[in-house]
């Protein structure tokens, strides 16, 4: 295994969201100029959909220890609480964007939005009420009653009010976060409560579970009281730990003996998070960042650190290279943050992006000395770059909504190779005031020095939840070198401005411009985050049908690699109906054929097949095939 020296250093006093300081300054500038605005969105950011259907929870009690830091594998694919630990139906959202400097990656956010990211009440000024709740599954504590451990059962957790400066802090006396325990007779009793709070770092609490609550149907729950009409009166909870053999001062973070990842890796590309693969190959200058970093909290004593970085093709989950960094001496300070990094292999990136793909850098902290699987959750974080048919500065999640009082907005992109601009995608951020149906002009410029835009098309705002809305250009445009895409907001913004999603997790490098009437100037918030507008370059367009292209349709295979059963999930592709599944080996021979008649047919039994690389083909009714690689291990 190849050894690499790490780019390793400490950053005294660093905070996970130090970029929010710059954002505070930007907000002050915006208020003074009253031309550009940032405001909270009506729903928290979500890279994955919440669970929409509410079902009865599992009544089987679980045992101790109960530990939740919201970093298990479940949270790689969902923002809803894991029903292995929590009752279904919670309105909280698990995310890594709204809390400031949490103990580890991800926290549970409580606000006035339900599980579908919609306000509980649509009224403008509703009274405070119960909004979000997070209820544990039943926990078997009866065996501890009457034993020497009966007085040693404690629940601890970390909490924070509000978070970043744009998130509404709990302000009224009725705004509160509550913890309750369930008695043997089913009644709930409050054991802890905090009312309206100023912004502050995470704080830990620890509560003893009384002897008469030690029964096999024990549960605890967090309740939020506040305004039920949006992302207001926000609280965050993390590091929830229930166990015996504890004491009132037992508040040491226990997820890892040494480290916990607190921020995900920095981006792979220098300027973009996504770039058309043909354009990436055409660049003569380096487009990858020099290095990629994560930030980890030192939670225990000083020890040598080791970690791996796995470079993978995310489409197939195939590892391309593994870098090992080890024997790094950590700082002696308790709870100090450190920054870990590795150089990006630009040659490897260019080698594997000869065709559309998604590349992933996956950091894995060495968990030597930690044997409890429940404490190994927060040892992995990953960052991806997409090489497809579009440009993006953002990471796909919006923390804020951006809008102008009036005027034009333009976002710059660079195409070293001649190509065709066929679509433009907008992420429309929802707030209390809906802008659905508002008309505006989609615009494309070759130069901002020109008197008029090269292309103008009248469109309307169409919300698409936590996703982008794509507009097809009536006339595809050939672009090369610097070009700009954006919009002209006609009329007054007082009733329904065009609100574009704003991602604060990365910074756009001098790419955004506004024109309020006579000249173009750099946006005042250009260095605070990313505007969520994406140009799409599809050389094979114009598209003449609304039917999805089967060759480009999404097909998910999991688990991959696998040794027993594989589930194929193409049902998320609208307008496409699978007819049968085929599995081919690398010689092209069909080794498994499975017709598709009902949902169970999406499962494939590969237990009798030898280890190796295979191709899953999903044949579609009416013609067309979707294919994905599958790795079988033994």
Q: How confident is the model at residue 567 (pLDDT cuts 50, 70, 90)?
A: confident
What pLDDT score was predicted for residue 30?
42
**Omega cis (within 30) before 559:** yes
Quick check: 634 and 607 in contact, CB under 8 A?
no
Q: How confident is the model at residue 586 (pLDDT cuts 50, 70, 90)?
A: low
Please identify, among 232, 254, 276, the residue that sits at the C-terminal boundary of a domain. Answer: 254
Residue 24 lies in a domain: no
105 and 78 share a domain?
Answer: yes
Task: Kindly state whether residues 242 and 204 are assigned to the same domain.
Answer: yes
Alpha carbon distance 130, 112 (integer Å): 9
The CA distance from 283 to 413, in Å, is 13
Which tokens hold the place of 56? 């009865």
Sequence-separated (6 or more) residues with CB below 8 Å from residue 81: 70, 90, 92, 94, 108, 134
Burial class (CB in 10 A: 0-12, 13-18, 19+), 158: buried
Q: What percent of the chain has pLDDT over 70?
A: 73
- What are the tens digits of pLDDT across the range 380-435? 778 889 999 999 999 888 878 899 988 999 999 999 999 999 999 999 987 766 67
- Decide if 394 is inside a domain: no
d(CA 582, CA 326): 43
Q: Give the CATH number of the domain where residue 151 resides.
A: 2.60.120.260
Check if the beta carbon of residue 569 is closer than 8 Å to that of residue 556: yes
Mean pLDDT of 530-543: 76
Is residue 327 very low, low, confident or very high in pLDDT (cuts 50, 70, 90)? low
- DSSP state, residue 377: G
Dist CA 425 CA 457 (whole Å) = 13
Per DSSP bridges, beta strands 512-515 and 520-522 are antiparallel
Q: How far apart are CA 24 and CA 188, in angstroms?
A: 41
Specify if 38 maps to a domain.
Answer: no
pLDDT at position 467 is: 83
154 exposure class (CB count in 10 Å sphere: 0-12, 13-18, 19+)? buried
CA distance 524 to 25: 10
* CATH classification at residue 571: 2.60.40.1930
**Is the separation of the CB atoms in 73 and 39 below 8 Å?**
no
How many domains does the chain divide into? 4
- pLDDT, residue 17, reads 44
Same-domain status, 159 and 239: yes
Residue 49 lies in a domain: no
CB-based contacts of 519: which residues, under 8 Å, 6+ apart? none
Mean pLDDT rounded to a whole number for the chain: 78
Q: Quote the domain boundaries for residue 266.
A: 261-388
Same domain? For 112 and 242 the reply is yes
CATH of the domain at 283: 2.60.40.10
Find which of 176-185, 582-591, 593-602 is predicted with most confidence, using mean pLDDT.
Answer: 176-185
The token pair that represents 50 in the structure block: 């919440």
Among residues 27, 33, 43, the alpha carbon closest in space to that of 405 is found at 33
Q: List the single range of 46-55, 82-91, 199-208 with lowest mean pLDDT.
A: 46-55
Instruction: Look at residue 8 and tell me if it is in a domain.
Output: no
Contacting residues for 548 by C-beta, under 8 A, at least 6 apart: 573, 574, 575, 576
Pairing of strands 380-388, 274-276: parallel
pLDDT in tens, 331-383: 555 445 566 677 887 787 887 777 788 888 888 776 555 545 445 566 777 88
Q: Is residue 240 part of a domain?
A: yes
Q: Is residue 234 part of a domain?
A: yes
Please answer whether residues 273 and 371 qualify as being in contact, where contact means their C-beta atoms are separated by less than 8 angstroms.
no
> Can you read off the two tokens belonging to residue 465?
């939840």
Same domain, 167 and 230: yes
Q: Both 355 and 249 in a single domain?
A: no
Q: What is the pLDDT of residues 498-523, one digit of tens each?
A: 999 998 877 767 899 999 888 999 99
Q: Average of pLDDT values for 279-292?
A: 89
* Cβ neighbours for 500, distance < 8 A, ≥ 6 positions apart: 401, 402, 403, 409, 426, 427, 428, 429, 531, 532, 533
Residue pLDDT, tens place only, 172-197: 566 889 999 999 999 999 999 998 76
Q: Can you tell me the mean pLDDT for 104-131?
A: 77
Closest CA to 345 of 326, 325, 322, 363: 322
Is the distance from CB of 296 to CB of 365 less than 8 angstroms?
yes
Q: What confidence score (pLDDT) does residue 10 get?
A: 28
CATH code, domain with 455: 2.60.120
In a domain, 51, yes or no: no
More confident residue, 292 or 179: 179
Q: Is the same domain home to 237 and 102? A: yes
Average pLDDT of the segment spanning 71-88: 82
Note the pLDDT tens digit of each residue in 200-237.
788 999 999 999 999 999 999 999 988 776 667 889 99
* Domain end (from 223, 254, 285): 254
Q: What pLDDT, on a 0 to 100 scale, did the predictor assign at position 491? A: 66
Contacts of 116 (CB under 8 A, 6+ apart): 50, 52
Please tell me whether residues 281 and 377 are part of one structural domain.
yes
Two tokens at 369? Answer: 């000395």
Q: Verify that 585 and 484 share a domain, yes or no.
A: no
Average confidence (pLDDT) over 38-48: 55
| Contacts by residues 444-451 (CB-CB < 8 Å, ≥ 24 positions apart) | 444/473, 444/477, 444/479, 444/483, 444/484, 444/485, 445/410, 445/483, 445/484, 445/485, 445/486, 446/479, 446/482, 446/483, 446/484, 447/482, 448/410, 448/484, 448/513, 448/515, 448/520
**Distance separating alpha carbons of residues 330 and 346, to the nearest angstrom:** 29
Same domain, 477 and 598: no
Determine contact, residues 425/407, Cβ cutoff 8 Å: no
- What contacts 69, CB < 8 A, 6 or more positions away? 103, 104, 106, 238, 239, 240, 255, 260, 377, 378
Q: Residues 88, 227: one domain?
A: yes
177/162 Cα distance (integer angstroms): 12
At which of 357, 388, 419 does a domain end? 388
**Does 101 share its domain with 160?**
yes
């Amino acid at each position: 295994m190849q050894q690499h020296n790490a780019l390793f250093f400490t950053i005294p006093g660093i905070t996970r969201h130090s970029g929010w300081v710059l954002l505070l300054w930007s907000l002050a500038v915006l208020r003074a100029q009253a031309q550009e605005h940032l405001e909270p969105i009506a729903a928290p950011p979500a890279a994955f959909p919440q669970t929409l259907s509410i079902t009865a929870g599992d009544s089987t009690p679980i045992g101790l220890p109960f530990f939740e830091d919201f970093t298990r594998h479940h949270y790689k694919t969902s923002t809803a609480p894991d029903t292995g630990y929590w009752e279904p139906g919670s309105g909280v959202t698990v995310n890594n964007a709204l809390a400031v400097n949490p103990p580890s990656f991800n926290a549970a956010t409580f606000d006035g939005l339900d599980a579908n990211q919609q306000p509980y009440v649509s009224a403008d000024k509703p009274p405070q009420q119960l909004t979000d709740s997070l209820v544990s599954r039943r926990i078997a504590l009866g065996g501890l009653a009457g034993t020497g451990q009966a007085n040693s059962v404690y629940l601890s957790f970390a909490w924070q009010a509000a978070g970043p400066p744009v998130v509404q802090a709990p302000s009224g006396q009725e705004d509160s976060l509550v913890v309750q325990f369930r008695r043997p007779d089913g009644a709930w009793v409050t054991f802890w409560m905090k009312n309206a709070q100023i912004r502050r770092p995470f704080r830990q609490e620890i509560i003893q579970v009384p002897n008469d609550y030690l029964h096999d149907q024990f549960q605890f729950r967090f309740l939020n009281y506040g305004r039920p009409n949006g992302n207001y009166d926000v609280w965050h909870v993390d590091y929830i730990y229930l166990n015996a053999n504890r004491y009132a001062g037992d508040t040491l973070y226990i997820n890892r003996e040494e480290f916990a990842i607190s921020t995900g890796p920095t981006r792979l590309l220098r300027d973009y998070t996504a770039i058309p693969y043909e354009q990436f190959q055409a660049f003569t200058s380096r487009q990858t960042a020099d290095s990629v970093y994560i930030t980890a909290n030192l939670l225990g004593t000083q020890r040598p650190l080791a970690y791996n970085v796995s470079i993978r093709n995310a489409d197939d989950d195939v590892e391309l290279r593994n870098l090992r960094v080890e024997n790094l001496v950590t700082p002696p300070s308790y709870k100090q943050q450190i920054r870990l990094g590795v150089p990006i292999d630009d040659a490897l990136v260019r080698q594997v992006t000869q065709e559309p793909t998604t590349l992933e850098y996956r950091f894995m902290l060495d968990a030597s000395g930690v044997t409890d699987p429940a404490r190994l959750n927060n040892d992995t974080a990953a960052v991806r770059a997409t090489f497809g048919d579009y440009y993006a500065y953002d990471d796909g999640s919006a923390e804020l909504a951006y809008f102008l009082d009036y005027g034009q907005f333009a976002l710059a992109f660079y195409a070293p190779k001649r190509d065709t601009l066929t679509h433009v995608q907008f992420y429309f951020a929802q707030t209390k005031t809906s802008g659905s149906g508002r008309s505006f002009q989609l615009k494309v410029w070759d130069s901002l020095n020109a008197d008029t835009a090269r292309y103008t098309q009248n469109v309307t705002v169409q919300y698409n939840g936590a996703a982008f809305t794509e507009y097809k250009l009536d006339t595809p445009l050939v672009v090369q070198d610097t070009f700009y895409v954006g919009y002209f907001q006609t009329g007054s913004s007082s009733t329904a401005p065009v609100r574009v999603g704003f991602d604060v997790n990365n910074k756009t490098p001098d790419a955004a411009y506004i024109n309020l009437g006579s000249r173009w100037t750099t946006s005042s918030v250009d260095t605070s985050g990313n505007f969520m507008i994406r140009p799409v370059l599809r050389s094979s367009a114009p598209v003449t049908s609304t039917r999805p292209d089967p060759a480009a349709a999404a097909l998910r295979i999991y688990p991959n690699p696998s040794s027993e059963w594989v589930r194929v999930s193409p049902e998320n592709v609208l307008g496409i109906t699978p007819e049968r599944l085929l599995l081919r080996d690398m010689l092209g021979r069909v080794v498994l054929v499975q017709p598709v008649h009902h949902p169970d047919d999406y499962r494939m039994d590969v237990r009798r097949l030898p280890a190796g690389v295979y191709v899953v083909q999903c044949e579609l009714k009416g013609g067309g095939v979707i294919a994905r690689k599958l790795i079988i291990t033994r």
